[in-house]
C-alpha cells in the first residue's frame, strides 16, 4: 500500500485562487505599516495576503481593524500567530470549557490564538486603525482536508452563515 502524501503545491495554488483580490507574490513585502488592504465585510476588517515562493505550509497576511472596531467572533482549524504592527487593543479568546481570556496587545507584541477557540480582535483606539501581521497554517490544513472556519452565528444556528471550508481568506 502506497502512502498518499498531500499535494501542498496544488493546495496552496487552490487557496490563492479563492482570494477576491490579487495576492502579493515574491520574496519580500515592504512597509507593512502602509501596505494597501482590501475590505472584508464578513470579518469586520480589511486585509492583504502574501504568497512566498516555496513556502507551502504557511500563509501570511496583514489585517487592519478600523478605529474602535472589532473583528467578527470566529474559530478555525489552523494555528495562527499575530504580530502587532500598529495600534493597541485586545483579543477575547473563549476555550472549549467556556473560560474566557483577554489578551491585551500593542505595537511590537506577538500573540497566538489556540486552534479551534472562539476569538475576536478589538481595536481600542477610537481614532486610528490597528494593524497586525498574521501567519497561519491554512495551506497545510487545506492540503490535509481539515480546514474549516466558523462564525459565531453558525454555532447559534443562524442561516446567514454556515460552517464550511473557507472559500474566502
Nine cell digits for residue 117: 477557540
Whether residue 164 is contained in a domain is answered as no
Q: % helix / strand / coil in the chain, to the nearest 5?
A: 10, 40, 50
Render pLDDT for 51-76 as a digit per residue (tens, 0 to 9). Answer: 888 888 899 999 999 999 999 999 88
Whether residue 142 is contained in a domain is answered as yes
Whether residue 87 is contained in a domain is answered as yes
Q: pLDDT: is 23 or 128 the higher one?
A: 128
Residue 111 structural domain:
8-151
Please report which confidence band the pLDDT of residue 162 belongs to, taking 50, 70 and 90 as the band edges: very low
Mean pLDDT lowest among 21-30, 35-44, 148-157: 148-157
Instruction: Quote the pLDDT of residue 56.
Output: 85
Whether residue 161 is contained in a domain is answered as no
Whether residue 2 is contained in a domain is answered as no
Instruction: Quote the pLDDT of residue 24.
Output: 59
Whether residue 158 is contained in a domain is answered as no
- Dihedral angle sign, alpha carbons of residues 152, 155, 156, 159: positive
Whether residue 45 is contained in a domain is answered as yes
Q: CATH number of the domain at 26, please.
A: 2.60.120.10
Please report which confidence band the pLDDT of residue 153 belongs to, taking 50, 70 and 90 as the band edges: low
| Contacting residues for 147 by C-beta, under 8 A, at least 6 apart | 76, 77, 78, 138, 141, 165, 166
Whether residue 157 is contained in a domain is answered as no
pLDDT(157) > 70 = no
Q: What is the model's pTM?
A: 0.76
Q: What integer is the mean pLDDT of 90-103?
A: 91
Nine cell digits for residue 46: 480589511
Number of domains observed in the structure of the chain: 1
Please report which confidence band the pLDDT of residue 97 belongs to, taking 50, 70 and 90 as the band edges: confident
Q: Ramachandran region of residue 59, left (φ > 0), alpha (ψ -120 to 50) or beta? A: beta
Amino acid at each position: 500500500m502506497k502512502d498518499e502524501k498531500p499535494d501542498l503545491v496544488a493546495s496552496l495554488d487552490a487557496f490563492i485562487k479563492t482570494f477576491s483580490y490579487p495576492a502579493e507574490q515574491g520574496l519580500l513585502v515592504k512597509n507593512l505599516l502602509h501596505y494597501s488592504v482590501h475590505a472584508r465585510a464578513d470579518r469586520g476588517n480589511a486585509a492583504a495576503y502574501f504568497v512566498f515562493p516555496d513556502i507551502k505550509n504557511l500563509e501570511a497576511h496583514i489585517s487592519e481593524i478600523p478605529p474602535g472596531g472589532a473583528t467578527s467572533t470566529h474559530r478555525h482549524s489552523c494555528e495562527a500567530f499575530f504580530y502587532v504592527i500598529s495600534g493597541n487593543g485586545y483579543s477575547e479568546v473563549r476555550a472549549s470549557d467556556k473560560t474566557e481570556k483577554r489578551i491585551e496587545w500593542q505595537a511590537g507584541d506577538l500573540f497566538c490564538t489556540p486552534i479551534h477557540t472562539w476569538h475576536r480582535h478589538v481595536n481600542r483606539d477610537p481614532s486610528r486603525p490597528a494593524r497586525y501581521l498574521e501567519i497561519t497554517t491554512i495551506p497545510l490544513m487545506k492540503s490535509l482536508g481539515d480546514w474549516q472556519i466558523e462564525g459565531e452565528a453558525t454555532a447559534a444556528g443562524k442561516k446567514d452563515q454556515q460552517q464550511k471550508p473557507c472559500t474566502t481568506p
